[in-house]
Chains A and B, each alone.
Chain A
Amino acid sequence: MTAETPLTAGIQANGDVLSLNRYEDMGGYQAFRTALREMTPSEVIETVKASGLRGRGGAGFPTGMKWSFVPKRNGDTGRRYLVANGDEMEPGTFKDRLLIEGNPHQLIEGVLLAAYAMEADFGYVFIRWAYRDSFLRLRHAAAEARAAGYIGEDIFGSGFNLEFHVHVSAGRYMCGEETALLTSLQGGRANPRSKPPFPPVAGLYGKPTIIQNIETLCNVPHIVRNGAEWYRNLGLTEESGTKLYGVSGKVNRPGIYELPMGTPIREIIEQHAGGMKDGLRLRGFLPGGASTPFLLDEHLDLPMDFNHIANAGSRLGTGTMIILDDSTCPVGMLANMEHFYAQESCGWCTPCREGLPWVEKTLTAIEKGEGQEDDLGILEDHCKLLGPGYTFCALAPGAADPLASALRFFREDFEAHITGRGCPWGSGGRY
């Protein structure tokens, strides 16, 4: 039996968008209609809780539990927001673009169901500017959904209202951090906010707000339609559902593959992504985007899920792996990544604003053959001082984690750059 692929079943191989009619023919919007007719908002939350769905944006927080943090209405008529986070700027991550471009109605139905569950009356989708096709297709789909009565006031006579708005951002990785995203939506610089209060209590314009990754929301219609037990059984481990896994780097078939949660890493890389290119050897990989610590070939037989990857010392993150092969310089790779983090720091807190450029300059110097003997100590100090508890948000810890793992796993390569006064791979580290 072929494994089920609910998230990508409606995505066509030729890249065309799935129309409203075709989405409905596949059973689309049935879950939303059923929820409106037969379920209370609390019942939707309970179903999502029972399904075991965890956030697909990187943190893996249980989705139903997050929704239950929103205070009950009890006569409160103030605005509440559901925000879909489509900022997707974590380097190496390219899964949400596929979902929005291929099947925007699935996302809209996810927004509708999540908004119904938390009794929100306003839904935003926050999309990065570079996802031009995603924006155009989603805007068209939203117009179709509005014309068909899925979006608007008193939807199908249920008394449930939802306004829907697509916001196009103007760049900056910081916007993906959920509180920075809210500030950005309000027309400010995307600086993060202090927590508590947490967004479910005081978010956008100070109102109760849930921020959810695109892939997470796309799971919701399938859970409501097929039930929590069906969803739990999709996973190969104790974790639920399917996952969009990605592989990039020097493999034969880089791409996104929807597979059961807990699929072994080796199967994803060797079978689905076609294995390493041109006889290259895998030296390590970042399992879930550029902010997750390296794992090595000894980890290839692990199931790719939140708990197994965390137990191995890394994070599932976005589930999109970046492969380091033996023709690529690990120091150059880190210099590239830290350049990104230094550039994308919002500058709000000092360790991140000042520390990351220092890290980038040190790594670039080592890569160019200008490294000093104590540079590795300086880098190790930064890994501690940019870690959790020292900075305002998770950006700097996300920059420090992969560096700390690289200093541990590829130490001889860093040392060879310093003692040999140059890069053995000759990559030069210009970026």
Chain B
Amino acid sequence: MIKIWSMKKEAENGQKKKPKTSAAQLRVQKDITELELPSTMSTNFPNPSDLLNFELIIQPDEGMYKGGSFKFTFNISNNYPHEAPKVKLTQKIYHPNLDHQGNVCLNILREDWKPVLNLNALVVGLQYLFLEPNAEDPLNKDAANDLLRDRNQFKSWVAASMSGKPVKGEPYDYVLAR
């Protein structure tokens, strides 16, 4: 066998044993403790010792969705950051970039995710969806068409849907902040 040990002694001076936290876990610890959440966002950990599953609550203070309280679930796999976290909205809302099942159309959640990105990038991206709904790349095509056709009408439908009223016959969840 090669004499690795003598190389090791040369290579370093008394490095010590490291504990067995999984690489994903440790990266999540770093990401979470270094989150910079503005006053419009907060997190909730149903099990505070499990950092891989948590909720993000966004309460926009401007834009068409102002006054709403939107709860997303984050599910991070042991292959983070190679794989992006799985993010879903828990409520059914009227929004061009979210479908009725809570799927989110945000590029960095899927096709543009890279390990150099972090949770901060994702939460900023999610908040942006409420400030600037994007009708160009819709997930809810109906809502997107409504927005393109008549912005004011769309705005009033958003307001109605957030207070739990149906829009064009489709029921929505009550999402106004208490």
Is B truly associated with A? Answer: no
Interface residues of B (CB under 8 A from A): none
Interface residues of A (CB under 8 A from B): none
